Structure 1
Amino acid sequence: MAPPEEIKGPEANALPDSATLPAELAALYLCISPAQLADLRKSKRPEGRTGSNSNPSVIRPVEGGAAGPKDPVLYQLGTLREYAKAHPGPSAFDTALNSGLLGWVSAKLPFFAEREPRIKRGKRVLIGGAWDRADPLREQRFIALAKGRIRFTSLTCAEAAVSLWANVASHAAFAEKGLALLRSETQAIESSLAATAQLAQTHPQD
């Protein structure tokens, strides 16, 4: 993914509202898929009229941002922030993360990752969860992402937990969620085995 040139301004703790993001990064910023963002762009009011920027369920791209069909659709960051404030609930990524062991091993989540692999086997080093809106460094990482200094990759939580990370504490905090799920599953299995043994003692089969 080539770094977009629309992001301007000095590197700081937050991007300005006037900054623009291409659709792929805008969707990532909102913790939704590009397809969901495209649907929001086409959303209409109940009476059939196209919505406006005052409608919090509609996200309008920057007018004139795409001169041709191959030009990227751009979104102003201020518009994305307004939408995020109007929809503060958990994202699909949050739901997947908290959906138990099945979600841990099957659902793909976006992670920030270093641009180049550090080791010969080609493993990319993860930096953190790109959907984690509580991360105080998230805005800075979007600046780095837009400038091509880092990238994002989609992994299951299980894949991320066994990956290399740039920060030991971040890796440990994330991995603990998976370890807790495994402990819970192990305890459930052991409890069922004990219950089966007790059933066999109380009601032995003929």
Structure 2
Amino acid sequence: MDTLDERLRMARSRNELSALEDETAVEEDLAALYLCMSAKKLGELRAKDGGPVFIKPTEANSIGRNQPVSYAMGELRKWRASMSAASNLEVAKRQGLLGWVSAVEPFWMDLSGSVIGPAIDQTEERWPELFSQAIEGIVRVAWLSPRDALRERWNATEPHLSMANEFLLVLDGEKFAALAAVEATELALVLMEQPSAAAP
């Protein structure tokens, strides 16, 4: 593990990087430092089309994937902002189905075991009241995945339905993605069956 001095040195380096203009290009290792991740992780994101937009100049006859990569600071800033979240629940929503079944979040629960709602959003109107009730032992906090929370009994229909609707939107997205993949397979198979035009 890095020492405190090493982490502070890296934080100062990130601060220097953040002062660069949007058009300034930085190498992969500096981009990774700015984003607080390893260059290897940044490369994995690039391979999965999940990372920031990058610059990869290629020559006409170059082959292979080991060409140097750089990133414009403006693109790094945009991507970092798009990854910002106020809670793990927000990240779970962005991750789709996997996030809904694997991310664990705190939920308020009454003493009968009914879910009151997510406990992470401190800007929610009832949060101070529920926090005080948790200190007094009137409510408790349970750590659940969003999917597991939805499967529990809630003490009110409106917040339960609101969260259920968000989950149904995720499921719709997964359904449409699966159907689109099936259609792409069918189209590819039809195209493979068609005889190619005979050359004159």
Question: What TM-score, normalized to structure 2?
Answer: 0.53
Distance 1:135 1:129 in 2: 9
CA-based RMSD: 2.5
The yes-or-no answer on 1:104 pairing with 2:100 is yes
Distance 2:129 2:157 in 1: 19
Per the TM alignment, residue 135 of structure 1 is displaced from its structure 2 partner at its CA by 1.3
Matches for 1:67-82 after TM superposition, within 5 Å: none
Of 185, 190, 196, the match for 1:196:
185
Q: Which residue of 2 aligns with 1:169?
A: 158
Further displaced range: 171-180 or 91-100: 91-100
Per the TM alignment, residue 201 of structure 1 is displaced from its structure 2 partner at its CA by 1.1
Q: Which residue of 2 aligns with 1:141?
A: 130
Identity within the alignment, %? 27
Q: One-letter code of the match for 1:203?
A: M
Q: One-letter code of the match for 2:148?
A: E
Larger Rg over CA atoms: 2
Instruction: Pick 1 or 2: higher relative contact order, CA cutoff 8 A, min separation 6.
Output: 1
User: Structure 1: where are the runs of 5+ without partners?
Assistant: 1-42, 48-87, 117-123
3-state SS of paired residue (1:112):
strand
Distance 1:202-1:133 versus aligned 2 partners, 3 A rule: same
Which structure shows the bigger proportion of residues in helix conformation? 2
User: Structure 2: where are the runs of 5+ without partners?
Assistant: 10-83, 196-200
Distance 1:89-1:194 versus aligned 2 partners, 3 A rule: closer
Per the TM alignment, residue 89 of structure 1 is displaced from its structure 2 partner at its CA by 5.8
C-alpha contact 1:108 1:156 (8 A) present in aligned 2:
yes
Q: For this pair of structures, how many residues does the alignment match?
A: 117
Distance 1:150-1:203 versus aligned 2 partners, 3 A rule: same
Distance 1:89 1:200 in 2: 42
Q: Deviations over 1:3-40 (max 9, x none)?
A: xxxxxxxxxxxxxxxxxxxxxxxxxxxxxxxxxxxxxx
Question: What TM-score, normalized to structure 1?
Answer: 0.51
Q: One-letter code of the match for 2:91?
A: T
Per the TM alignment, residue 198 of structure 1 is displaced from its structure 2 partner at its CA by 1.3
Q: One-letter code of the match for 2:110?
A: E
Q: Deviations over 1:80-123 (max 9, x none)?
A: xxxxxxxx96234432343221110011110000112xxxxxxx
C-alpha contact 2:92 2:99 (8 A) present in aligned 1:
yes
Distance 1:93 1:176 in 2: 14
Q: Deviations over 1:26-84 (max 9, x none)?
A: xxxxxxxxxxxxxxxxx88949xxxxxxxxxxxxxxxxxxxxxxxxxxxxxxxxxxxxx
3-state SS of paired residue (2:193):
coil
